[in-house]
Structure 1
Amino acid sequence: MDVKTRAARPVSYFPVSPVMLFPEAFGDFAVYLWQGGDFVLYTKAGQKFTLRHRQVLHRNDVQEVYVQGSEKLQYEQYIEKHLGKILQDETLPIAVRSKIFYEASTVVMQDVFDRKLPSALRARHFNRITDIVKNSIKFLASDNSLSSVAPFISHDYKTYTHCMHVFICSVALFHVYDMTPGEVFECSLGALLHDVGKTKIPHSILNKRGSLTQGEREIIKEHPVHGVSMCAHLPLTQNSVNCILFHHEKLDGTGYPAGLKADNIPLPVRIITMVDVYDALTSTRPYAEAMDPYEALTLMRHSMRDGLDMSVFKRFVAVLSGADMI
């Protein structure tokens, strides 16, 4: 709720569900209640939020508490720290957990893509990304999770949300195949980072309306190599590196950067490529309107079949259908 119109105290607040405040956990933000037409302090920043605090809110049927806008960063860090606990808490409705997962993950990815990063991906950001993957794989593999996350997926293309969407759907597809937990983690990490190299591509090219020149297309094609270079100092396995480097390869050998063909392209990469193409087609981009899911899948099935793995395509359609996303 925004109270900026009050001249005496121009402070903004945003609502938070009480279930997001964990007993015995500390938060570096104050919690307020809306009472009598004003915001009233409930717990101070740095104060332990106890079980009694939560019980009082429950007894009084308090559905929302509030945090000051100036402490939004502290609240986001708190949620990020407790994300694993949130996602595995089956007493929380799956829609609530899905919303928290999507919002917390998007904050991390936006930090990675929007900040002025050096040529290498900072270890601190990498650790946050790794935590997102570790904390969400099990959740995304559970029944109904994909359909519960789907309503939060935006169709307004941004590179960081695109990476999130590719990660979410790829994890669901990985679990259809006979992959070990270690392989799922490594490839999921690669899926989330697959377009990180686009941070090195000028915005004037990424956001250009209309057709790219041949020179601009060649610059775009450099992003997989940029991505691997940015991650060179990080403890990535070959599975993760493959996903970043080869996600634009095509089965007929017309892809880039290496022109790999058929079985030379690892299966997890073929999965990520499938999801990558689908999300791009169903999102509004600067140079094209979003297609509806059926239209995009029809185009992939008929016009892109030489470059995409059609056996993966069939399983992808089944996963989307099972999540009511078509």
Structure 2
Amino acid sequence: MDTNSRAARPVSYFPVSPVMLFPEALGNFSVYLWQGGDFVLYTSSGQKFTTRHRQNLHKNGIKEVYVQGSERAEYEKYIERNLGGILLDETLPIEARSRIFFEATTVVLQDVFDRKLPSALRARHLDRITEIVRNSIKFLAKDNSLSAVAPFISHDYKTYTHCMHVFVYSVALFQTFEMTESEVFEYGLGALLHDVGKAKIPKRILNKRGPLTTAEREIIKEHPVHGVSMCAHLPMTQNTINCILFHHETMDGSGYPAGIRGDNVPLAVRIISLSDIYDALTSDRPYAEAMEPYEALSLIRNEMRENVDMNVFKRFVAVLSGAEII
């Protein structure tokens, strides 16, 4: 530890919880403390952050450390590289692992949705998302994981956070059905990418306050087809593609883009569709305030029962109840 080395002041720093620094994992970024009105070097780039480093922070009551803004990309790679081991590390509190899961997933999805993309997703985007899904599923299968994750669910609607929430709810539901490990992965990937086609919808429409015009609604309805076209060159199974293409189909055939109905809507799609509706209703959107969970579920049960699979709905209520979300 070098608490006497003063670092040259960069343009910016961002705070990091010490929980996000993993003993014996090598990171290509420096870690700083805020002491005496200045940033002080704690560990250097390329130096392993050890158990002793963490213990010293804990002993001194330090809740936040800092990384230079110029090294954010290296920090994000470090989180993704170590995510699998972290989420399954029983020595870390599940609340800490839940925070790590949300922060790592947000970083990846924000890259996909908020930055300018080509007309197709690149393989590197899929590789990062695939790793997130693989590393998360076992963690989310744990009995108390949804309870631990719930406090991190944001009610400020953004496409990338919405996709993360739908993934969490959907995986929790997948676990209640007899699905193979590979099926849960393929469907989970579809849940996380279900709205990727919105990257091609003008933001003036996505973020519009007030009702959409008929023409604007028709443009929004194009996003499932856009999503499939963006992924067409990538090695995805039909299970994943179905989730992206059909997540707005309904049990009564009034959905889009194909108007399929009943058992023709795959079970995993029915699960994702319900998760999608629930998260949208319980989030603050440009045109509507968030509903309370019970209020949203009551609306679905009373006004949308022809659209959703009510057997899936009952399981969803049970899952949310078990996680003390309602």
TM-score by length of 2: 0.93
Question: Could you say if the C-alpha distance between residues 273 and 38 of structure 1 is closer, same or farther in structure 2, counting changes exceeding 3 Å?
Answer: same
1:262 and 2:262 correspond: yes
1:36 offset after TM fit, Å? Answer: 4.4
3-state SS of the aligned residue for 1:22? coil
Distance 1:70 1:111 in 2: 17
Counterpart amino acid of 1:128? R
3-state SS of the aligned residue for 2:258? coil
Deviations 1:5-52 (A, max 9, x none): xxx946543333334333332211111234444332122112233455
Distance 1:80 1:302 in 2: 42
1:56 offset after TM fit, Å? Answer: 4.8
Distance 2:111 2:248 in 1: 24
Moved more, 201-210 or 266-275: 201-210
1:262 offset after TM fit, Å? Answer: 0.2
Counterpart amino acid of 2:113? F
3-state SS of the aligned residue for 1:131? helix
Distance 1:207 1:325 in 2: 28
Moved more, 136-145 or 28-37: 28-37
Distance 1:301 1:223 in 2: 26
Counterpart amino acid of 1:306? E
Number of residue pairs matched by the alignment: 319
Question: Could you say if the C-alpha distance between residues 201 and 42 of structure 1 is closer, same or farther in structure 2, counting changes exceeding 3 Å?
Answer: same
Where does structure 2 lack aligned partners over 5 or more consecutive residues?
Answer: 1-7
3-state SS of the aligned residue for 1:176? coil
1:62 offset after TM fit, Å? Answer: 4.7
3-state SS of the aligned residue for 1:108? helix
3-state SS of the aligned residue for 1:82? helix
Where does structure 1 lack aligned partners over 5 or more consecutive residues?
Answer: 1-7
3-state SS of the aligned residue for 1:291? coil
Which residue number corresponds to residue 167 of structure 2? 167
% identical aligned pairs: 77
Which residue number corresponds to residue 123 of structure 1? 123
Distance 1:27 1:235 in 2: 30
Which residue number corresponds to residue 139 of structure 2? 139
Moved more, 51-60 or 101-110: 51-60
Distance 2:158 2:17 in 1: 27
Q: 1:1-326, aligned counterparts within 5 Å? A: 9=9, 12-54=12-54, 56-57=56-57, 62-326=62-326
Question: Could you say if the C-alpha distance between residues 207 and 15 of structure 1 is closer, same or farther in structure 2, counting changes exceeding 3 Å?
Answer: closer
Moved more, 50-59 or 38-47: 50-59
3-state SS of the aligned residue for 1:272? helix
Distance 1:304 1:65 in 2: 47
Distance 1:52 1:92 in 2: 16
Deviations 1:206-252 (A, max 9, x none): 11111111111111111101100100011111110110000000111
Question: Could you say if the C-alpha distance between residues 211 and 148 of structure 1 is closer, same or farther in structure 2, counting changes exceeding 3 Å?
Answer: same
Q: CA RMSD in A?
A: 1.8
Deviations 1:295-320 (A, max 9, x none): 11111001100110000000000001
Q: Is the 8 A contact 2:106 2:161 kept in 1?
A: yes
Question: Could you say if the C-alpha distance between residues 93 and 192 of structure 1 is closer, same or farther in structure 2, counting changes exceeding 3 Å?
Answer: same
TM-score by length of 1: 0.93
